[in-house]
Amino acid sequence: MSENGDADRFLLDVMLGKLATYLRMCGYDTAYALDRGIEADEELRPLAESEGRTLLTRDEELATATDDAVLLTEREVEQQLRELRATGVELSLPDHPQRCSACNGEVEPADLDDAPEHVPDGVEPYRCRDCGQWFWRGSHWDDVQETLAAI
């Protein structure tokens, strides 16, 4: 797998919801099965193939049956990140938010004057093109950066 960017696109099974958030924050195009209303394994394989995504799963049988799938065995997200890094996936935060952690939409710079009250003054805001959620580099960003540095 290449360094983060457009080349790596992932589809995560229902057991990897927290990991989806981390990958999106790292800038990866990351689809999550439950966001798509999918729970059945037989629906994940064709979706991953048709969208050119690497399937990440904790299901050994599903991983074996799916070309280029990555089997993650750990339950805790920090350990899953370690496993994923060991496969060659670059895990670092970009300079600014690129993907919505909620819906996976692309995030673009926004005008602070248009931001809702909960967006702090003095930050550089971003907004999801798809769902409209607002983002900025704050304490959550710092916490994720520390987690990634620790693995």
Query: What are the strands, taking DSSP E only, across 87-136?
Result: 107-109, 126-128, 134-135
| Residues 6+ away with beta carbon under 8 Å from 6 | 29
Phi and psi at 19, nearest 5°, equal: -65, -35
- For the chain, what are the domain ranges? 9-86
The residue-averaged pLDDT of 128-135 equals 96
Q: pTM for the complete prediction?
A: 0.91
Distance in angstroms (rounded) separating the CA atoms of residues 139 and 143: 6
Q: What is the mean pLDDT of the chain?
A: 92
Q: How many CB atoms lie within 10 A of CB 135?
A: 24
pLDDT for residue 75 is more than 80 = yes
pLDDT at 7: 57
